[in-house]
Amino acid sequence: MEVIICKTDDEMSRAAAEAVADVLNAKPNAVLGMATGSTPLGLYQQLVRMHKAGQLDFSQVTTFNLDEYVGLPVTHEQSYHRFMHENFFRHVNIPPQNVHIPSGTTRNYRAFCDWYEQRIRECGGIDVQILGIGSDGHIAFNEPASSLSSRTRLKTLAKSTIDDNARFFKSRDEVPIYAITMGVGTIMEARKILLLANGKKKADAVAQAVEGPVTSMITASALQMHPDATVYIDHEAAGKLKMREYYDWVKEKKPEAPRV
C-alpha cells in the first residue's frame, strides 16, 4: 500500500485524477469502479476538466458504481444515480449503456446482485476502483463486521453511517436503512485501487485502515492485502498516522527511485 499525503484537497484530487488518467491513456476501454460522496467529487471534477481540455476520451470506458440506497428512485435528489449523472456522467462521453449503478428499486435484490457480479466479470473486471472511507473505517457500504470475502449484496446500514449521511437529507428519519453494495471481496478483485480521504474526522479511520490490523471491524484495512492500492489523503486525514514521516520521505524520493 502506498500512502500519498497532499497539502490540500485540490492537490489530492489532482494526484488521484492523474492516476486514473494514466490507466485510461494506456487502456482506453478501461473499466472504472466509481464511488459517490463529497470526497471523490474533486477527483471527478479533475477528470471532467481533462476531458473538456481534450486530454481524456471516455468513449470506450465502462463504469460500475459501488452502491446505491434501497428505496430511492433514480430521480431522487440523494440517489447515487442522480449524483453520478449530475457530477460526472453528463459532463463526459461515456456511452449510457456502459454505465452500471446498482438499482435501489429492483423487486428481486438477490437476483440483481448476482447479475451485477456477473456483469463485472463479463466486462473483464474492474481496472481502477475509486473509494472513500467512512468514519468507522468502512468502504462502500461494507459496515464493521462485514465479511472480507463478501460479494455484492443487500446490506443493513449501521447507525453511525445513517448519522453521517443524515446531513444530506432533510432529517435523519429520511436516510434509507438499506443499500445494495459491492462486497469487500468484489472490491479487492480490482486491479488497482485508489482510496481518498480528507479532514480530521477521517484521521482515526485512515490510521486504522493503513496501519492497524486487517480486520472485518475496519473493512478498509483489507486494502493492506491488495497488490496495488494507493491512499490519497490531506494533512488533516494523515494526523493519526505513526509512519507519516516515512510516507512523506517516500513521496519526496520517489522521482529519484531506480526505474523497475
SS3 of residue 193 by DSSP: strand
Task: List the domains of the chain with CATH numbers.
Answer: 2-250 (3.40.50.1360)
pLDDT tens for each residue of 107-116? 999 999 999 9
What's the whole-number mean pLDDT along residues 76-102? 96
Percentage with pLDDT > 70 across the chain? 99
pLDDT for 124: 98
pLDDT for 254: 85
User: Is pLDDT of 51 > 90?
Assistant: yes
pLDDT tens for each residue of 197-207? 999 999 999 99
Q: Which of 127, 136, 164, 234 is catalytic?
A: 136
Q: Which of 127, 143, 164, 234 is catalytic?
A: 143
Q: Which residues neighbour 83 within 8 Å (Cβ) at sequence distance 6 or greater?
A: 36
Strand-pairing partners, residue 64, are 33, 100
The model's pTM is 0.94
Is residue 67 annotated as part of the catalytic site, yes or no?
yes
Is residue 174 annotated as part of the catalytic site, yes or no?
no
Q: Which of 51, 100, 138, 226 is catalytic?
A: 138
pLDDT for 260: 61
Q: Which residues neighbour 87 within 8 Å (Cβ) at sequence distance 6 or greater?
A: 41, 44, 45
Reported as a pLDDT band with limits 50, 70 and 90, residue 257 is confident
In the chain the beta strands, taken as DSSP E runs, fall at 2-6, 31-34, 62-65, 67-69, 99-100, 128-131, 153-156, 178-181, 192-197, 229-234
pLDDT tens for each residue of 68-77? 999 998 999 8
* Amino acid letter for position 53: A
Percentage with pLDDT > 90 across the chain? 87
User: Is pLDDT of 259 > 70?
Assistant: no
What's the whole-number mean pLDDT along residues 243-250? 95
Q: Which residues neighbour 114 within 8 Å (Cβ) at sequence distance 6 or greater?
A: 152
pLDDT tens for each residue of 126-174? 999 999 999 999 999 999 999 999 999 999 998 988 988 888 888 898 8
pLDDT for 68: 96
